[in-house]
């Protein structure tokens, strides 16, 4: 996010206070942030508060009408921004956007810009559900520049419970990072992406299980990235914290617990998928015998008999359709490349992400990751430590460049990768 140029437009609604968290997070990440407040927005939050968080003066209509800039202010701001974020987006501003109207600094800047626009509506439920408002919303989203986040359902400032609540700051930040990563491209539009995420649990009795530390953050990031690239997404996931699930955009979710349940769910959804991305950390083995009641400590076996869990990725590779793209993950320690190459070939994958779980801030439970991407033609690309959302986007970028016109070759060599320091000597 460092150095990225983001322009926020605040409308008149109580949800404007939540935008302060968005601005603060962006500024702390190193982004350059500017803000425009409508006259109505200033009834809820002051330009001084916003300017303090932006580390830059906030703009209002008073600035618009002052001849203090070498060039018209709306032109300068429209050309400066890499991304416009309108939050909260009111019914009034939405109506102006739908009909190309411009009577203040914010709407003039929208018309003077060419960058992607992220819209975060916020209003009373009855207002949101009005036919005219819904028609305006659909018309605006028909513009390839415009992307929506929310609204969600919940208790509103009017004490009504229903749709119209502005998306929470973490959701808006995910959408911002995604649109900056892609430039607003919807290069997965019309594609159905099936993703697995999190870990599985193989129970010995009702309270003890074999498992691993995977939290599902990478799977969620893959779902977020695919959604903002235009895909229809299904996420099959193991146990996952509610706070992480709340960050998911509108995608289909299929919760499971065991490896066999994930096996059944992935195979059930495979036929309609165009892409399958297997990031879940699925157990390899399970206790051979399940006991329906908690075993007393004295009854625990000295040696635990194990049975295999179905190999989901191998089965998906065997059953894949010609049109399907199949991507796997290989969580490894030590020299991560040989086992990843072996897995890529044995399981008939198009690409694999080998990530070192023995490196700091990588792998299970972290918010960041690093990897080496490999494809079936022998290409490889090193990914330096970054957010898991960034890695998800880079993985899609990598796979989208795979030549599918023939079974081998046909790809330009990426050259010697610029290895992150943690991979030196591997």
Q: Is the sign of the CA dihedral 242, 245, 247, 251 positive or negative?
A: negative
- Sequence spans of domains, the chain: 5-182, 192-418
Tell me, yes or no, if the two domains 5-182 and 192-418 fold the same way: yes
- The pLDDT score that the predictor gives to residue 404 is 57
As a whole number of angstroms, the distance between CA 332 and CA 342 comes to 12
Report which of residues 353 and 405 the model is more confident about.
Answer: 353
For residue 64, name the pLDDT band (cuts at 50, 70, 90).
Answer: confident
Q: Is 158 a catalytic residue?
A: yes
DSSP 59: B
Residue given tokens 């009373």 in the structure block: 124
Which CATH number among 2.40.30.10, 3.30.1240.10, 3.40.50.1950, 3.40.630.10 corresponds to the domain 5-182? 3.40.50.1950
CA distance 144 to 121: 18
Superfamily of domain 192-418: CoaB-like (3.40.50.10300)
- Is there a contact between 30 and 3 (Cβ–Cβ < 8 Å)? yes
8 Å CB contact between 240 and 183 = no
What does the block give as tokens for 426? 């591997």
The Cβ of residue 2 has, within 10 Å, a number of other Cβ atoms equal to 7
For 213-235, how does the pLDDT look when each residue is reduced to its tens digit (9 = 90+)? Answer: 999 999 999 999 999 999 999 99
**368-375 and 380-387 strand pairing:** antiparallel
> What is the C-alpha separation between 130 and 402, in angstroms, rounded?
45
Which residue among the candidates 20, 54, 115, 158 is catalytic per the annotation?
A: 158
Coil vs helix vs strand at 162? strand
Is the pLDDT confidence value at 283 over 70?
yes
What DSSP string describes 282-330? --SEEESS--SSPPPGGGS-SS--EEEPP-HHHHHHHH--TT-EEEEEE
| pLDDT tens-place string over residues 294-313 | 999 888 888 899 999 999 99
């Amino acid at each position: 996010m460092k150095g990225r140029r983001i322009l926020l437009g605040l409308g008149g609604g109580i949800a404007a206070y939540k935008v302060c968290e968005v601005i603060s997070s962006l500024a702390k990440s190193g982004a350059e942030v500017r803000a425009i407040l409508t006259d109505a927005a200033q009834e809820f939050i002051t330009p001084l508060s916003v300017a303090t968080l932006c580390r830059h003066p906030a703009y209002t209509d008073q600035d618009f009408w002052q001849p203090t800039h070498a060039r018209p202010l709306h032109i300068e701001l429209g050309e400066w921004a890499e991304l416009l974020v309108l939050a909260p987006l009111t019914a009034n501003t939405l109506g102006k956007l739908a009909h190309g109207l411009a009577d203040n600094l914010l709407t003039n800047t929208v018309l003077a810009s060419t960058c992607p626009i992220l819209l975060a509506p916020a209003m009373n439920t009855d207002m949101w559900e009005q036919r005219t408002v819904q028609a305006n919303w659909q018309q605006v989203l028909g513009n390839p520049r415009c992307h929506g986040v929310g609204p969600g359902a919940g208790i509103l400032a009017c004490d009504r419970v229903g749709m119209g609540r502005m998306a929470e700051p973490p959701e808006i930040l995910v959408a911002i990072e995604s649109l900056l990563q892609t430039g607003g491209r919807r290069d997965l539009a019309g594609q159905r992406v099936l993703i697995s995420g999190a870990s599985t649990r193989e129970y010995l009795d009702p309270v003890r299980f074999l498992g691993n530390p995977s939290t599902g953050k990478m799977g969620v990031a893959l779902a977020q990235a695919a959604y903002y690239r235009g895909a229809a997404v299904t996420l099959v996931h193991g146990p996952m914290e509610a706070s992480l699930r709340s960050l998911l955009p509108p995608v289909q979710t299929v919760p499971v617990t065991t490896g066999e349940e994930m096996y059944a769910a992935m195979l059930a959804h495979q036929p309609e998928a165009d892409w399958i991305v297997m990031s879940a950390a699925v157990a390899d083995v399970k206790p051979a015998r399940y006991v329906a009641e908690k075993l007393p400590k004295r009854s625990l076996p000295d040696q635990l008999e194990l049975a295999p869990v179905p190999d989901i990725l191998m089965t998906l590779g065997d059953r894949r359709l010609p049109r399907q793209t199949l991507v796997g993950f290989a969580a490894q320690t030590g020299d991560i490349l040989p086992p990843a190459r072996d897995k890529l070939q044995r399981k008939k994958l198009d690409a694999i992400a080998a990530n070192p779980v023995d490196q700091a801030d990588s792998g299970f439970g972290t918010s960041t990751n690093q990897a080496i991407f490999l494809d079936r033609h022998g290409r490889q690309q090193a990914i330096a430590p970054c957010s898991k959302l960034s890695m998800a986007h880079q993985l899609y970028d990598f796979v989208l460049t795979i030549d599918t016109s023939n079974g081998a070759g046909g790809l330009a060599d990426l050259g010697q990768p610029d290895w992150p320091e943690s991979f030196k000597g591997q």
